[in-house]
Amino acid sequence: MFNGRGMFMKKWFVVLASIFVLLLAGCGAATTNDSGSNTEPLDNQSEPAETPAKKSEPAADAEAPAKPSIILATTTSTQDSGLLDALIPDFEKATGYKVKTIAVGTGKALAMGEQGEADVLLTHAPASEQKLVDNKSVSTYELVMHNDFVVVGPKNDPAKIKGMKSPSEAFKAIADSESLFVSRGDDSGTNKKELAIWKNAGIEPSGKWYQESGSGMGQTLNIASEKDGYSLTDRATFLALQKNLAVEIVVEGEESLLNIYHVMQVNPEKFPKVNADGAKAFSDFMIDPKTQDKIGKFGIDKFGQPLFFPDAGK
């Protein structure tokens, strides 16, 4: 009885399977052609003949730039502070360009611009930048943002300058007490500002107490921290590295310590090999309201204050 019922169920399974295969074959013939595209709706209602065929969407890289790589020469503060890490991915995603960042002292970045070795510059030494505007090494000059310089030093403050408002007076006290001062000594925007302060104080620094690191801001701060020395730094880099430093801010707030950043496109008429379109795209991005908003918020989550203040259009 069991075997007879099994044979009966087996026969019905074969019949049902055959019917299912036939139905599939019939549907396939009605809905696809040899290429696999849909030729007839399942309800057998054809679309109106006058309806134009839908255009396919362009490929994601259809608008990729002809010259996708651009060289950005910039100061170490934009790199050490983490700002470029926050902004460049947005720029690359929005435009298709890839940015090669060369973070050096502003003096070296400006020299690269004067020699046509970069496409776009982001620096913070207005007096030195003006030379490139005047000799037409750059074709545009846009205000981007600012923060400020601060004097940092050891917590025991051997020169007794903490709380002074005048950086020139603070530098004079450092020199008079021959307290260690660590300079970048690299012709950067920060180094230029430091030398201007020494000049205003009427001092030409020299001797064992005055040391030049020849390095970027981050490394200079590390040396000052390790040796219990003073230094001049931009606030953004100091705040970004503060948790690993033994120095603190001792002088701040004077108007002369303002630190202003500009973006400049290297002039394609003077240097035909530069990526003019890429430079323009990056310059436009830096002064775009959305980017400016992000610059103004950068650092608040970590430090309770912005590291830069947006200035485009001012």
- List, for residues 134-191, the tens digit of each pLDDT value: 999 999 999 999 999 999 999 999 999 999 999 999 999 999 999 999 999 999 999 9
Tell me the pLDDT of the chain averaged across its residues. 85
- Three-state DSSP state, 307: coil
**Range(s) within the chain of domains with CATH label 3.40.190.10:** 69-146+260-310, 147-257
- List, for residues 160-173, the tens digit of each pLDDT value: 999 999 999 999 99
Ranges of the chain whose pLDDT falls below 70 = 1-62
pLDDT of residue 231: 98
- Domain spanning 69-146+260-310, CATH architecture: 3-Layer(aba) Sandwich (3.40)
Identify whether the C-beta of residue 309 lies closer than 8 Å to the C-beta of residue 259: no
pLDDT of residue 266: 98
Going by C-beta distance under 8 Å and a sequence separation of 6 or more, which residues neighbour residue 63? Answer: 96
pLDDT of residue 314: 86
Return the closest-CA partner of residue 119 out of 138, 133, 94, 132: 138
Place of tokens 């830069």: 308
User: What is the total residue count of the chain?
Assistant: 314
* Cα(44)–Cα(30) distance, integer angstroms: 9
CATH number of 147-257: 3.40.190.10
The answer, as to whether pTM is greater than 0.85, is no
Strands 181-183, 210-212: pairing is: parallel
